[in-house]
């Protein structure tokens, strides 16, 4: 890991994320870039589309806003300037997601650290949180920081598994994550009532997979719950984990609103940092034999048409 991006709005929440990123960068010989999304360009775009001239007062206001943001960015870079860590800042006129995605591509970003306050109720259903949107759209791993926390406090990371959605890229990133914090991993499978897989067979097969990906210093637990989200939240409390690591499939549009995404829900409601990694849909799933045996072989029969007299 060489480059860390921290979207900031100069709030206490984003400053907590900045402190976390700086310490993580120092421990991993990485650089940190603060990014603020001013989204000033929307004023010009609106005027151009409808042929409304931007008067001198509006231009002056935009200039003053940009200068103020640049001043705050300079102050923040100086405040977090520490030895052995290169810290830079950038103010983008683009929207939040566009500015982050552009910066990830241009600066070869390896990790995005975001401060979050979460969201609840109708606000979450219709809008979601900025962090949730970042998790859903960016290509690199994201760590959401809900409160002030130091990297030294990350001793155990809870890793919920969906046995039907395990991918190589996720396991490789989890291995890197464990080494990054020099901590213990706790893999957990939330077994719901419709899961009929043999637990011992699943555990044995996962052990072989973890060994193949050179994942060490871990434990594996099975939690029974009606809903996966409830099981995860319960295990977060019971295990006293310091971070949750999850894959997200970045559902979009109507599929996202109807079924949601467990990772994004976790980001909004768990009080500890959440590390998330977006899975690319074309990537092949690691098939567990224990699942195929439990499911059996599909059987197809030709059904005779029913005659109603």
Residue 184 CA to chain centroid, in angstroms? 20
Shared-domain flag, residues 109 and 192: no
Please state which of the ranges 21-35, 106-120, 173-187, 220-234 shows the lowest mean pLDDT.
Answer: 106-120
Q: Give the number of domains in the chain.
A: 2
Residue showing tokens 């009532």: 193
Top mean pLDDT of 117-126, 244-253, 256-265 is at 244-253
Would you place residue 86 in the very low, low, confident or very high pLDDT band (cuts 50, 70, 90)?
Answer: very high
Is 60:117 a contact under the CB 8 Å cutoff?
no
- Across the chain, mean pLDDT equals 81
Shared-domain flag, residues 285 and 165: yes
Of 115, 142, 166, the domain-final residue: 115
Of residues 208, 201, 225, 215, the one with CA closest to residue 159: 215
| Span 76-88, average pLDDT | 93
- The DSSP symbol for 167 reads B
In this structure, the strands spanning 218-224 and 184-191 are: parallel
Shared-domain flag, residues 217 and 262: yes
**73, part of any domain:** yes
The pTM (predicted TM-score) of the whole model is: 0.80
Would you place residue 177 in the very low, low, confident or very high pLDDT band (cuts 50, 70, 90)?
Answer: very high
Give the separation between CA 170 and CA 245, rounded to whole angstroms. Answer: 10
CATH classification of the domain holding 176: 3.40.50.620
35 lies in which domain range?
Answer: 1-115
Shared-domain flag, residues 161 and 234: yes
Show the beta-strand stretches assigned E in 96-191.
Answer: 111-115, 142-145, 156-161, 184-191
């Amino acid at each position: 890991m060489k480059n860390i991006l921290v979207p900031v709005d100069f709030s206490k929440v984003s400053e907590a994320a900045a402190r976390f990123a700086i310490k993580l960068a120092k421990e991993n010989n990485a650089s940190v870039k603060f990014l603020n999304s001013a989204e000033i360009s929307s004023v010009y775009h609106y005027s151009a589309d409808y042929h409304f001239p931007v008067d001198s007062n509006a231009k002056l206001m935009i200039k003053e806003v940009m200068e103020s943001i640049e001043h705050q960015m300079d102050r923040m870079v100086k405040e977090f300037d520490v030895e052995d860590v290169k810290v830079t800042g950038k103010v983008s006129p683009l929207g939040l997601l566009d500015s982050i995605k552009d910066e990830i591509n241009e600066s070869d970003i390896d990790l995005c650290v975001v401060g979050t306050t979460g969201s609840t109720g109708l606000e979450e259903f219709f809008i979601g949180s900025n962090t949730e949107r970042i998790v859903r759209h960016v290509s690199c791993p994201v760590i959401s920081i809900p409160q002030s926390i130091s990297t030294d406090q990350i001793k155990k990371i809870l890793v919920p598994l969906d046995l039907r959605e395990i991918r190589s890229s996720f396991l490789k990133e989890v291995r890197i994550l464990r080494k990054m914090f020099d901590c213990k991993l706790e893999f957990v499978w939330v077994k719901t009532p419709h899961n009929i897989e043999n637990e011992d067979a699943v555990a044995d097969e996962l052990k072989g997979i973890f060994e193949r990906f050179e994942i060490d210093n871990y434990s594996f637990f099975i939690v029974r719950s009606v809903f996966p989200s409830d099981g995860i939240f319960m295990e977060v409390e019971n295990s006293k984990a310091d971070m949750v690591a999850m894959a997200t499939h970045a559902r979009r549009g109507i599929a996202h609103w109807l079924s949601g995404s467990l990772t994004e829900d976790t980001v909004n409601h768990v009080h500890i940092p959440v590390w998330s990694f977006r899975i690319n849909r074309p990537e092949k799933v690691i098939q567990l034999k224990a699942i195929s045996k439990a499911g059996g072989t599909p059987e197809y029969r030709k059904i005779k048409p029913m005659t109603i007299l």
